[in-house]
């Protein structure tokens, strides 16, 4: 089969669509009929159509580079160009102050009119005209990059998802164009979603993710598995997973309140009640850290409130034993 020709005449360019290293063979290759045959030619049946759908299918799959070094260098270059024009403008302004002029020519040193600058000091007007687009580019680049810089690095689980896809479908994307996944420190997730340690722990267990009740039931148009077969890519329902985490948190909360309440009620001595409190307070702090993305002082405040509740339970238990 002849390769397509782009252009015409003597400048025509022959474009070879065969992948690098493919044997030269003029015999047509039959269209793949099943998934096994398609996997033998991932560059043809997967490629960027499949990779793009995979990245867009879930928040835990889309990563891109921040290009931190290039952004910094570009900002520095614009900063230098603006600084150079700033110095030229300062020089023009100083010349108005130091230029010796007769009484009839004082208007040549006037700095209170852009119209006079256009007529008698066109260089100053030209400098300002150059500064405006440069400042606009500089401000836009600094603003956009500050937003990118504020984003946290891509979570390891998201990077691992993309790496696993590239390994599973080796050859679907050219090696030179898939090297970006190895630059971990420069990668950011398109959508950053804070997940608690409890949620991450549940997602870690494969049997938990693959349970039928957690599988995503939405036949979304962009979902990867709707168009491409994969025995390793699975999607689970975020809604059901969040509901499960909520139920676990509620059960843990009830246990941390009702458990010590009954235990303190049965405790016969003050030292035993204090021991019970010393056990439940650290456990509460650890569980709170696992189920809620709180800052340290918020964790301490919540633990203090919980300790106050336990002290009330302890006092009630002491009064009950005294009355009996």
> Are 205 and 290 part of one and the same domain?
yes
User: Is 14 inside a domain boundary?
Assistant: no
Reported as a pLDDT band with limits 50, 70 and 90, residue 36 is: low
Domain end (from 192, 212, 240): 192
> Are 184 and 69 part of one and the same domain?
yes
How high is the pLDDT of residue 95? 75
Least confident of 76-80, 139-143, 186-190, 215-219: 215-219
Tell me how far apart the alpha carbons of residues 279 and 289 are, in angstroms, rounded to a whole number: 16
User: Is 36 inside a domain boundary?
Assistant: no
Q: Distance of CA 13 to CAs 4, 8, 9, 86, Å?
A: 9, 8, 10, 48
Total structural domains within the chain: 2
Tell me how far apart the alpha carbons of residues 76 and 83 are, in angstroms, rounded to a whole number: 10
Residue 18 in tokens: 């065969």
User: Is 253 inside a domain boundary?
Assistant: yes
Domain end (from 169, 192, 215): 192
| pLDDT(28) > 90 | no
Tell me how far apart the alpha carbons of residues 294 and 306 are, in angstroms, rounded to a whole number: 15
Domain end (from 148, 169, 192): 192
DSSP helix/strand/coil, 65: strand
Q: Distance of CA 178 to CAs 52, 166, 173, 181, 229, Å?
A: 12, 8, 6, 6, 21
User: Is 40 inside a domain boundary?
Assistant: no
Q: Helix/strand/coil (H, E, C) string of 131-158? A: HHHHHHHHHHHHHHHHHHHHCCCCCHHH
User: Is 260 inside a domain boundary?
Assistant: yes
DSSP helix/strand/coil, 165: helix
Tell me how far apart the alpha carbons of residues 177 and 39 are, in angstroms, rounded to a whole number: 20
User: Is 52 inside a domain boundary?
Assistant: no
In this structure, are strands 5-6 and 187-189 parallel, antiparallel, or unpaired?
unpaired
> Are 133 and 101 part of one and the same domain?
yes
Which domain does 170 fall in, by range? 60-192
| pLDDT(2) > 60 | no
> Are 168 and 203 part of one and the same domain?
no
User: Is 33 inside a domain boundary?
Assistant: no
Digit-coded pLDDT (tens) for 218-256 = 444 445 655 565 666 666 667 777 788 888 888 988 988
Note the pTM of the prediction, 2 decimals. 0.65
- Provide the 10 A C-beta neighbour count for residue 44: 15
Digit-coded pLDDT (tens) for 48-101 = 988 988 888 877 788 999 999 999 999 999 999 999 999 999 888 777 766 665
């Amino acid at each position: 089969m002849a390769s397509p020709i782009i252009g015409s005449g003597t400048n025509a360019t022959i474009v070879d669509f065969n992948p690098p290293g493919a044997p030269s063979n003029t015999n047509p290759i039959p269209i793949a009929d099943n998934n096994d045959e398609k996997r033998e030619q991932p560059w043809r049946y997967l490629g960027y159509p499949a990779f793009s759908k995979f990245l867009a299918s879930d928040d835990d799959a889309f990563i891109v580079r921040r290009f931190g070094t290039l952004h910094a260098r570009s900002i520095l270059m614009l900063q230098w160009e603006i600084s150079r024009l700033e110095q030229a403008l300062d020089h023009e302004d100083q010349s108005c102050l130091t230029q010796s002029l007769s009484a009839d020519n004082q208007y040549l040193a006037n700095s209170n009119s852009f119209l006079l600058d256009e007529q008698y000091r066109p260089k100053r007007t030209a400098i300002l005209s150059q500064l405006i687009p440069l400042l606009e580019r500089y401000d836009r680049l600094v603003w956009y990059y500050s937003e990118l810089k504020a984003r946290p690095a891509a979570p390891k689980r998201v990077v691992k998802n993309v790496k696993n896809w590239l390994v599973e479908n080796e050859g679907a994307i050219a090696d030179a164009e898939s090297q970006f996944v190895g630059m971990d420190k420069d990668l950011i997730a398109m959508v950053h979603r804070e997940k608690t340690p409890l949620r991450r722990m549940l997602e870690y267990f494969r049997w938990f993710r693959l349970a039928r009740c957690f599988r995503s039931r939405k036949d979304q148009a962009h979902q990867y598995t709707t168009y491409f077969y994969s025995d390793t890519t699975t999607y689970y329902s975020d809604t059901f997973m969040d509901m499960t985490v909520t139920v676990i948190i509620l059960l843990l909360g009830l246990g941390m309140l009702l458990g010590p309440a009954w235990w303190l009620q049965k405790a016969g001595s003050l030292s035993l009640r204090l021991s019970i409190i010393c056990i439940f307070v650290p456990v509460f702090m650890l569980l709170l850290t696992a189920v809620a993305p709180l800052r340290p002082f918020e964790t301490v405040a919540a633990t203090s409130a919980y300790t106050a509740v336990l002290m009330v339970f302890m006092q009630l238990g002491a009064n009950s034993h005294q009355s009996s």
